[in-house]
Amino acid sequence: MKKLFSLVLAMCMVFALCACGNSAQPAATQEPAPAESTPVEEAPAEKTALSLATVCAAGTPTDLTCLKFQQILNDSGLFDITYYGQSQYGSVADMMENILGDDNLIAIASPADIGDAAGVGDLSALMAPFLCDDPREIRAITESDWFAALADQCYAKNIKIINCDFIEGTRYFWTTKKVVEPSDMAGLKFRVPGSANYVNTFTAFGATPVTIAVGDLYTALQNGTADAFEFPLADAYAWQLNEVSKYVANQNYVSGFTGLIISANVWETLTPEQQTVINDAAKECSEFCFDTFDEKTAEAKQLLVDAGIEFYDIDVDAYKACVDEYFNLSTFSDGTQEALDSLMTAYRASH
């Protein structure tokens, strides 16, 4: 009986120990709180380094417009633009060669310069004498399908035209004698930029055109290599060319336009965002350029009068009569003169 009692007691103790063991299971392991995620900062967009170059003198409308264009692009955070003004990068011919050679360069060039370099001769017609009554009328052409087709041809030759409506200046005759009529041009060695367009213009007027780089013009006028030239008022004053000339025509014979160009190959390396920034900046700077031009031209004329320059009237109708000969000398496509006349007539009718 004692053995049975001892056995029952032992079994009860075993059950009690098992129960205690089950009630003393360890607490569930706490998972560590996830660490707060640190936001990953996006890497800043890589800047594209480009040069910006013009032959225009410091303080001219084109120079001031270039400085504004540089600021807009650099402020975008997408570009690192270095500006070279006053022929520091070289002549127009040098810049055109570098554009075609795919340098990281945005250059200022006239339609005539672009057309010559790209072999798109019709582009030079934007520099036809007496084309615009008011410089802003050029947009009748630069915003047309006619111009867009020419820009496409330039692109195929590796020149991307960003815009072509910066007003470099209304250009005037600067001479050592008055040239009231085209017959007064006979025998004059008339300095012109290195473009067939200017050569054809002054050949049509009856002068003898000579090509001289703008940086050499002052000396050429001093030593008689040239005895006349054509230039915007503000630019001529900035270059101090009034010191080697005496007479300036009151009426401009052409509105000189320039635009921004870049290698098409380089353009295609830019992101869509960068291309948009450049295009938008060009539009903003065009308006700035026209406003600055109006202001600087008025200032320059007064400064020139104060410096002893004599302004006089020319026979505009007599010079306009030479425009047909200009088109005859030029190698434009058939119908170019008529196309431009049509665009200008339609624009003037709507304004």
pLDDT of residue 194: 79
pLDDT at 6 over 60: no
pLDDT grade for 347, boundaries at 50, 70 and 90: very high
pLDDT band per the 50, 70, 90 thresholds, residue 323: very high
pLDDT at 28 over 80: no
Hey, is 175 helix, strand or coil? strand
pLDDT(42) > 70: no
- Render pLDDT for 282-309 as a digit per residue (tens, 0 to 9): 999 999 999 999 998 889 899 999 999 9
pLDDT: is 19 or 46 the higher one?
A: 46
Averaged pLDDT score across all residues of the chain? 88
Residue 8 confidence (pLDDT): 40
At 133 the pLDDT is: 87
The structure tokens listed for 242 are 């009034």
Structure tokens at 339: 């196309």
Task: List the one residue out of 208, 177, 181 whose CA is nearest residue 316.
Answer: 181
User: How confident is the model at residue 238, as a pLDDT?
Assistant: 84
What is the pLDDT, as a whole number, of residue 65?
97
User: What is the pTM for the complete model shown?
Assistant: 0.75
- Condensed to tens digits (0 to 9), the pLDDT of residues 152-201 reads 999 999 999 999 999 988 999 999 999 999 999 999 999 998 778 899 99
For range 300-324, the mean pLDDT: 96
**In this predicted structure, what is the pLDDT of residue 43?**
53
In percent, the amount of the chain with pLDDT more than 90 equals: 75
- Report the percent of the chain where pLDDT is more than 70: 87
The pLDDT value given to residue 342: 96
Give dist(CA 270, CA 177) in Å, integer: 51
Dump pLDDT digits (tens) for 68-111.
Answer: 999 999 999 999 999 999 999 999 999 999 999 999 999 999 99
> Got the DSSP string for 24-44?
TPPPPPPPPPPPPPPPPPPPP
Secondary structure of 249-311 in HEC code, one letter for each residue: ECCCCEEEEEEEEEEHHHHCCCCHHHHHHHHHHHHHHHHHHHHHHHHHHHHHHHHHHHCCCEE
Q: What is the mean pLDDT of residues 20-34?
A: 44
User: Distance (Å, rounded) from C-alpha 309 to C-alpha 172?
Assistant: 13
What pLDDT does 268 receive? 98
Separation CA 285–CA 106 (nearest Å): 14
Reported as a single tens digit per residue, the pLDDT across 333-344 is 999 999 999 999
Tokens of 74: 């650099």
Q: Are the C-beta atoms of residues 145 and 118 closer than 8 Å to each other? A: no
Question: Would you give the distance in Å from CA 244 to the centre of its chain?
Answer: 31
